[in-house]
Amino acid sequence: MKTIAFIGAYDKIDLILYIAKLIATMKKKVLVIDATITQKAKYIVPAINPTKSYVTEFEGIDVSVGFYNYSDIKNYLSLSDTQKLDYDVILIDVDNIEAIDNLNIKMATKKYFVTSFDLYSLKKGLEIIREINDSIEFTKVFFAKELLREDNEYLDFLSVGHGITWSENKIFFPLNLTDQLVIMENQKISKLKFKRLSEEYKSNVIYMTEEILTDITLNEIKRAYRIIEREE
């Protein structure tokens, strides 16, 4: 079982859900855990009987809402603490140190730091990482109009002394109105449709899926993506 952490103050649940759908299309069992303070998944992922905390199925993905540790999720699923969660991949959206500790984010297979270049996203995100108090490698995922060398250097400057090691590769999602509108429309109809998203957004989802599923070839991932588009 792989656990993948998406850490930061920036809104990232939509990205996580699109990655999860692509992974699920390849017959992998996927759990998305929204362990953020805002709990956006509660409002954009449909649920038949929503309560304060629950796990619901959405487009072949299990989505956990309102749980901040594995024990509570297991209890909801009628599992004992000694039993393992039956998933191939767990994708975790986290923005607070309590969930980072309880979900053992330090031991996640891969850790993405998701941010824009506004000061809140940068400083709040780094504040969360600083509380981990350990030397951990993160991959930068930027959402911005453009990726400037000065902006990346500014993040590096802010992160000095935080015990952070940055991966050499960076992932850049150009912010554009089309993607935002498509995602909002998909939320309204409770679907995860790829077709009208920008090529950059789709390519990054495929690339991140390839990073996560190291046992699956890029051709297999692209084949799964084409299946999704044909069904839309």
Tens digit of each residue's pLDDT (9 = 90 or more) over 158-198: 998 877 899 999 999 999 999 999 999 999 999 999 999 99
> Using the 8-state DSSP alphabet, how is residue 49 labeled?
S
Tell me the C-alpha distance between 218 and 206, whole Å: 8
Query: For position 105, what pLDDT does the model report?
Result: 92
Contacts 24+ apart (CB under 8 A), 215-224: 216/26, 220/26, 221/22, 221/26, 224/22, 224/25, 224/26
Residues 84/1, Cβ–Cβ less than 8 Å: yes
**Mean pLDDT within 59-88:** 95
How would residue 51 be classed by pLDDT, with cut points 50, 70 and 90? Answer: confident
Give the architecture (CATH level 2) of 2-214: 3-Layer(aba) Sandwich (3.40)
Domain boundaries, the chain: 2-214
**Mean pLDDT within 82-95:** 96
Residue 29 in this model has a pLDDT that exceeds 90: yes
Residue 50 in this model has a pLDDT that exceeds 90: no
How would residue 49 be classed by pLDDT, with cut points 50, 70 and 90? Answer: confident
**Mean pLDDT within 51-67:** 95
Tens digit of each residue's pLDDT (9 = 90 or more) over 187-232: 999 999 999 999 999 999 999 999 999 999 999 999 999 999 998 8
Burial class (CB in 10 A: 0-12, 13-18, 19+), 178: exposed
Residues 35/92, Cβ–Cβ less than 8 Å: yes
Tens digit of each residue's pLDDT (9 = 90 or more) over 105-148: 999 999 999 999 999 999 999 998 887 767 789 999 999 999 99
